[in-house]
Every structure is written in structure tokens, then in C-alpha cells.
Structure 1
Amino acid sequence: MEHLDDGTESSNGANEPEVNNSQIIVGLPDDISLSCLARVPRKYHSVLKCVSKAWRDLVCSEGWHSYRQKHKLDETWIYALCRDRFGEISCYVLDPTSSRRCWKLMQELPPRLSKRKGMGFEVLGKKLFLLGGCGWSEDATNEVYTFDACLNSWVAAAPLSTARCYFACEVLDEKIYAIGGLGSNSSDPHSWDTYDPCIDSWKSHKDPNIVPEIEDSVVMDGKIYIRCGTSAVVYDPSNGTWQHADADMVSGWRGPAVVVDGVLYVLDQSSGTRLTMWHKERRQWMPVEKLSPMLTRPPCKLVAVGKSIFVIGKGLSTVVVDVRDVGNMGRVMVGSSIPKLISSDDDVISCKCLAI
């Protein structure tokens, strides 16, 4: 099992990393040392942590991540939660900038999560979250686990306010939203929970407009949209209420969705795989690209890195679509593809991006 390096939040909230009294690099001021080491590519961060305790503390500090983000040195990796034909779940990671791009299996998940269904999968800051879920022999749970890359382990985290299964999970304004879904008999299906990392706790809310059975969700224009069949509702944080979404927009939302530069893209998998986009000004859905059935293996999920949309299907077969010119010129380009894992035919449950 390969242990992959990843970033996590630290308890140190200072702007600069706190390390031992000894210098990070002997003979250099610590700010110069930070400037040098922060330019080391993310794939080598695990090596840096092996040099000394001071270097390990530096790489795991909030100051390290803040510096890389401030100076645009952070790198985005893609994480995919998958389920195999035996019902076992696993998590894979992809470095999209690598010259030899391939999906790699992460460390094993906690045993109690191995066959749980309907879990939420989310990223906040430098942590991966697995939330809620249920199984054949258990009702919906409120359990939450996070992946700490510094320790290369999953640990239990603050539980949800409400037990949930098959629910929407999104991040807005640096908080996690767990919305709707199925719960225990005592759970209110027309509710949502919010997680505030500053106080490490969840808060429960209710709204009759929330539908319990949710098929997809996105964050767009500072609002959360959730879809169930042919209807959708939208959450506006300015007034804390849910309202019915634009019917014209909902009419074309017929598959997994992703937002790039404020534009909503949807992969219609009803007949082949066709990428469409919602044109706000024209208030209509427009075709973007029909993808080759030789490359895509539905059912697929979408995730975006910069101007590229990654279409990830069974066995983690991946097609990369560049949409940087679609707004002005109506053109897109299938930039590349990543073959499926030879030994896998897993279904992809969810995909998220994490930048360090």
C-alpha cells in the first residue's frame, strides 16, 4: 500500500510556521528557508518530512500551506472515492500535473467504513472528510472521519448533528454543508447541518423546501444548488433560506455537474456522453462536446482543475476536456485521457480536489 503525501490543517493558526528554536536550514534565516523549501513540488513533501523534526513541523504547519497558497505555489490533486463489485470502498488520488499521470491507491479506509453506502465525501482546507452513511445492518450514522496526510491516517472527527445517508455535501464560505438525505426515524429529512472548523462542531438547521432524496449538488455564484429528479432548490447564505431554483436551468441538469469560472457544465449520459453548459445570459443550455464512447466509461463523475474538466468513469478511466475557449469561441478541446486501472472496474462515487 502506497502512502501518499497530502496537506492537513494544523492547530497552529499563526501566519508563519512555528518550529523548534533551531534553524530550519543552518546558516539561513527561517524566512529564507521557508521561501526555498516551499518551492519543492508537492510529491516530494513526504521526503522533506523525513529530514528532521524541524522540517516535518514546517511542512505540517499552517504557515507552510498559507505561504504556498499566497505565492501560488499550491498544487491541486484529485481524490476519487470508489466502490468495487464486492461493495468495498477505497480512495484513489491523481496528480494531474505529473508527466506520468496515473491513479494511485491511498491508505486503507477505517474498517467500519469499508462497505458503508451513501456517505458524504468532501474537502475543507487540507483535509478529506467522509461523513455519515449507512449499511445493510446499520441505520444512517452521524460518524465523521478525516484523512490527515501528515500522519497518513484516518481519524474520527466531530460527528454530524444529524445521522444522514445519501445526502448532499458541499463547502460554502469555509464551512461544510450536509444537506437532506435519509436518516433515522428521529431525523428530520428537511434539514441540513453546517460544520465550522474554527469551533470544530456542527449546527443543525431546518427548512421545508429541502428534499430528502438528492441526486446531485453544486456551488455556483456563492449559492448551493441541490437537484432531485426534475426539481431543484437553491440556498442563499445571505438570508439562510432555500428557494426553488430556475426551472429552465433545472430542465437541462440531467447528469453530474461541475462549475468552472461560474459556468455550470453537465454531462448528459442518457445517450452516449455529451457535455453541455448553461448560458446564463441566453437562459438556455448549449452543447459543448460529444465525448467518444471509446474513452468514457459511464457512469461518470466530473471535477474541475483550473480550466480543465476531468470526466472520470468506471475503473477510473479519465478524459480531460479543456474549456478555456468555450465562452468566447464556442470551442473545447479533449486534451488527454488516462486509461482505466488494469486491475479495477470500480464505480466512482464522488470526486473532489484538494490543493496544498
Structure 2
Amino acid sequence: MANPVTTTESSSSANKRRKLHRLFLRHQNQHHNHYHNQNQNQSDNANHEPLIPGLPDHIAQLCLSQVQNPTTLFSVCHSWRRLLYSPSFTPFLSLYALLSPQSQSSTCEFFSFDPISSNWLRLPPPPLPHRHLLLHHHPSFLSWNFPIQSVSAAGKLILLAATTPQLLPALPFPLVFDPISLNWSSGPPLSAPRRWCAAGAVSGSVYVASGVGSHYQIDVARSVEKWDLTQIKTQQYWTKLGCLKDGKLCREAVDGVGWRGKLCMVMVKGDATKGGVVYDVERDVWEEMKEGMIGGWRGPVAAMDEQVIYCVDQVKGVVRKYREESDSWEEIVRSVRLKGAEQMAAGGGRLCMVAGGGKEIVVVDVVAVRPRLWVVDLPVGFEAVAVHVLPRMPHPPAITSSSSSALS
């Protein structure tokens, strides 16, 4: 029979040996991990490519941010390419577009064209159920396009009005997309949901005038409301402004053009006889548009930095600039591609126009010594409804390029 005291002592010695062995292995692993991490850090530091050799990265970034054309940075090296899309680098401007599928049954989608990589990026869809209400082609009215009204203000894209298949206002409140955070949010509810209204932006505020709700109402047709996006965190409401003298603006969707503290609107498109109004933001007063201005308003209009108004003559394919001192329009560039232009946005010295029956987007550089023109091809299977110019998006993994499209 074994001695129990001896067995206990042997077992205790074995446990001590196993414990010491485990401590030795743990120490050995810690020693190995320390040197591995040290070597890894040294390797990372060795592989780190400075933005500009000899300069700290924060100083180099200040230097590179002064380059006016970021395209030149994209093709130099990977570190400069990564810098372009980093949160710390000043966002360059990109083209944003509301595109309608050529298949008549689908709703519209938002895309962004990155001028650096020449790729179309699909935006995250608006929240449900509103994404299914962006109807451009109605199944019962195939020959008639329904307007979807959107504006850009304070660096954001704001979706304001659309029509449901039941011919009712689709949006009770604006939907706001922030290109930097890649998020959609809801704005304050309108006093009355509407469609076929006049919509525009001045100095970071969005304006909605007139429109039709579920049926015609004179108080809605004459109403004017303002939402200040520069106070978006504190001011979540629409402010009612001075009413229009009549409800004529509710007849169709009207683009309001922000220009030198005023909102300019023309009620009829094309060469037909028009009526034009100008709203003075500071004085809250409506005025008649000058004869020269309204006389040259013969197509889509946009204002560069809310200072210079440009118009495209839809019939002649001519871009003109408005001269306030002489109340006249000066021709800038002429092209057959601009005939029939439907909508326009301005930013960064360029005009971006929906043309060719929505099949292409034409870009005109109006600040060049000799204005130049080129075309941006659309993703396959889509046609353009509206365009905007806003800060670029970062390149998130969740957003995939639809179809690579180079500037021609």
C-alpha cells in the first residue's frame, strides 16, 4: 500500500514544476512579442512614405492643399492619393446627379461623379419609405416626366418635392444628404407637403414657394417658407415669409436661383412669354424681374457662387452671362451639344448641364481664358434628371463604383 504522505509530496512537486514551466513559456512569449512588435514598428516606420521628403506630414499637407487642381496630386504617388480622400484634407468639388433608370418601372437614384478617379459612385439610398417615391416616369403617363426637386445649400444635398404614383406630394419634409458623413437625415416638416413648387437656396438657406398639395389651395399656392441650414442643429423649423401676389408659380416645377442676396424665379421655360419675380432676402420683399434679365432667360439658369448668373439658350445652344450694369446677356460659348439643355448647376468655375435628352452631362469651364467644354458619360442604363456641385465624398467600402466613366 502506497504511503499517502509521499504521494502528496510527489504530486505537489509535479504541480510546482508545471507551474514554473508555464511561467517560463509565458515570459518567453512576452519576450518574443516585444521584439516582434518592435521590429514591426520599425518596419512600419521604414515603409512610411512621407508626403514630401524632408518635411513633417502636417507641413507637407499645408503645402499640398494650396494646389488648385487636385487631379495633379492623384497621379503622383499613393500617399498623395490617400491624402486627397482623408478627412483632414479640404474636400474638392464633385458632380452629384439624380439619375433615372431607363427601365420605366424603377425609381431614381443618386450618384456622385469623382473627377479625380473618373468613376461614378452610388450614394446610400434615402431612408425607407421615401426612396420608393422618387418617381420620374409615371407608368400611366410615359410621355410626361414628373419633376423631382432638389437643391444644394450649406454643402448638403436637399431633396424637397416629388410626386407619388397617386399624384400626391411624396415628401412631408426635406431629406438631407451630407457628403462628408454619408448620412441622410430628415429636415423639419413643411406647413403643407407640396409638389410643382419653386425651390432655391440663398446664403445657406432653402426657400420653397407656391406649389400644389393633394389639391389646389390658394394659401399654399401663394405661400413662401425658409429653412436656415447654417443653423441646422438649433433651427429645426420653417419660417413663413411674405406671400406671393398670386399662385402662378404652382403651374410647374420652378428653379429658384440665388444671386447676390436675392432669389430669382421665372415661371415658364423656353421661348414662351414669361413672368419673372425676384425676392430680396434681407427686405423680405418681392419685386418684378428686370426686362433684360427675363428676356435672356431662355433655358436652365445657375449662379456661380451666387455672384454671376449663367443661362443656356435651349434653342441656340449658347451659354450667356448676365451683366447687371447693362441689364443684358453676354455670350460665353456656343455648342450644338447644349441645345435642349434641361437643368444646370454651377460651382468651382464650371457649369454642369443635363443635355441630350438626359443622356449626357455637359461641363463648361467658364473661368478659363478660352472657355472649354467636355462631356461626362453616364452609368449604363441611366439618364440624368438633375445635377448639383458639392464637396466630394470619401471613398467608403460600402459605396461601389457603378461603371467607370472617363471625361471625354
> Normalization by structure 1: what TM-score?
0.70
C-alpha distance 36-122 of structure 1, shift in aligned 2 (>3 A): farther
Per-residue CA deviations over 1:9-28 (Å, capped at 9, x if unaligned) read xxxxxxxxxxxxxxxxxxxx
Measured in 2, the distance between the counterparts of 1:172 and 1:308 equals: 19
- Give the 3-state SS of the residue equivalent to 1:159 in structure 2: coil
Structure 1 residue 109: Cα displacement: 3.3
Structure 1 residue 232: Cα displacement: 0.7
Structure 1 residue 315: Cα displacement: 5.1
Amino acid at match of 1:201: Y
Structure 1 residue 337: Cα displacement: 2.7
Contact 1:132–1:160 (8 Å) recurs in 2: no
Structure 1 residue 290: Cα displacement: 1.6
Name the structure 2 match of 1:121: 150
Measured in 1, the distance between the counterparts of 2:370 and 2:387 equals: 22
Name the structure 1 match of 2:402: none
Q: Does residue 323 of the first structure (1) align with residue 366 of the second (2)?
A: yes
Q: Does residue 285 of the first structure (1) align with residue 324 of the second (2)?
A: no
Mapping of 1:48-67 within 5 angstroms? 59=87
Q: Does residue 257 of the first structure (1) align with residue 301 of the second (2)?
A: yes
Amino acid at match of 1:339: D
Measured in 2, the distance between the counterparts of 1:284 and 1:155 equals: 41
Match of 1:339 among 377, 381, 384: 377
Match of 1:246 among 286, 290, 303: 290
Larger Rg: 2
Structure 1 residue 135: Cα displacement: 1.7
> Alignment RMSD, CA only?
3.2
Structure 1 residue 177: Cα displacement: 1.0
Name the structure 1 match of 2:130: 112
Q: Does residue 83 of the first structure (1) align with residue 64 of the second (2)?
A: no
C-alpha distance 74-138 of structure 1, shift in aligned 2 (>3 A): same
Measured in 2, the distance between the counterparts of 1:221 and 1:154 equals: 29
Amino acid at match of 1:209: K
Per-residue CA deviations over 1:233-271 (Å, capped at 9, x if unaligned) read 001122101111112210110100112363321111124
Structure 1 residue 147: Cα displacement: 2.2
Per-residue CA deviations over 1:118-142 (Å, capped at 9, x if unaligned) read 4431233343221232223152242
Unaligned runs of 5+ in 1: 1-31, 49-58, 326-330
C-alpha distance 163-199 of structure 1, shift in aligned 2 (>3 A): same
Structure 1 residue 161: Cα displacement: 2.3
Q: Does residue 303 of the first structure (1) align with residue 345 of the second (2)?
A: yes
> Normalization by structure 2: what TM-score?
0.62
Mapping of 1:200-215 within 5 angstroms? 200-209=236-245, 211-213=249-251, 214-215=253-254
Name the structure 1 match of 2:7: none
Structure 1 residue 215: Cα displacement: 3.2
Contact 2:358–2:384 (8 Å) recurs in 1: yes
- Give the 3-state SS of the residue equivalent to 1:238 in structure 2: coil
Unaligned runs of 5+ in 2: 1-55, 71-79, 136-145, 269-273, 393-408
- Give the 3-state SS of the residue equivalent to 1:194 in structure 2: strand
Name the structure 2 match of 1:164: 194
Q: Does residue 354 of the first structure (1) align with residue 354 of the second (2)?
A: no
Measured in 2, the distance between the counterparts of 1:323 and 1:311 equals: 13
More strand by share: 1
Measured in 1, the distance between the counterparts of 2:265 and 2:315 equals: 20
Mapping of 1:36-47 within 5 angstroms? none
Measured in 2, the distance between the counterparts of 1:107 and 1:283 equals: 43
Measured in 2, the distance between the counterparts of 1:245 and 1:142 equals: 31
- Give the 3-state SS of the residue equivalent to 2:238 in structure 1: strand
C-alpha distance 142-205 of structure 1, shift in aligned 2 (>3 A): farther
